[in-house]
Chains A and B, each alone.
Chain A
Amino acid sequence: GQQLNQSPQSMFIQEGEDVSMNCTSSSIFNTWLWYKQDPGEGPVLLIALYKAGELTSNGRLTAQFGITRKDSFLNISASIPSDVGIYFCAGQLNTGNQFYFGTGTSLTVIP
Chain B
Amino acid sequence: DAGVTQSPTHLIKTRGQQVTLRCSPKSGHDTVSWYQQALGQGPQFIFQYYEEEERQRGNFPDRFSGHQFPNYSSELNVNALLLGDSALYLCASSLLTGYGYTFGSGTRLTVV
User: Which residues of A pack against B, CB within 8 Å?
Assistant: 1, 4, 6, 31, 33, 35, 40-45, 48, 88, 90, 92, 95-104
What is the CB-to-nearest-CB distance from A60 to chain B, in angstroms, rounded to a whole number?
22
Contacts known (A43-B103, A96-B96, A99-B101); A104 close to B59, Cβ less than 8 A: no
Q: Does B86 contact A (CB under 8 A)?
A: no
Contact B42 A88, beta carbon cutoff 8 Å: yes
Contact B97 A98, beta carbon cutoff 8 Å: no
A90 to B33, CA, bound (A): 14
Partner pick for A98 among B58, B88, B96, CB 8 A cutoff: B58
Contacts known (A33-B101, A95-B98); A43 close to B90, Cβ less than 8 A: yes
A35 to B90, CA, bound (A): 13
Say whether chain A's binding surface is mostly helix, strand, loop, or mixed. Answer: strand
Most buried by B among A6, A31, A42, A88: A42
User: Which residues of B pack against A, CB within 8 Å?
Assistant: 4, 6, 33, 35, 41-45, 48, 55-56, 58-59, 88, 90, 92, 96-99, 101-106, 108
What is the CB-to-nearest-CB distance from B43 to chain A, in angstroms, rounded to a whole number?
5
B residues less than 8 Å from A98 (CB atoms): 33, 45, 48, 56, 58
Contact B98 A92, beta carbon cutoff 8 Å: yes
9 other contacts beyond A1-B58, A42-B104, A95-B98, with CB at 8 A cut-off?
Answer: A40-B108, A96-B96, A97-B56, A98-B45, A98-B48, A101-B42, A101-B44, A104-B41, A104-B42
A residues less than 8 Å from B42 (CB atoms): 4, 6, 88, 90, 101-104
Contact B98 A99, beta carbon cutoff 8 Å: yes
Contact A97 B103, beta carbon cutoff 8 Å: no
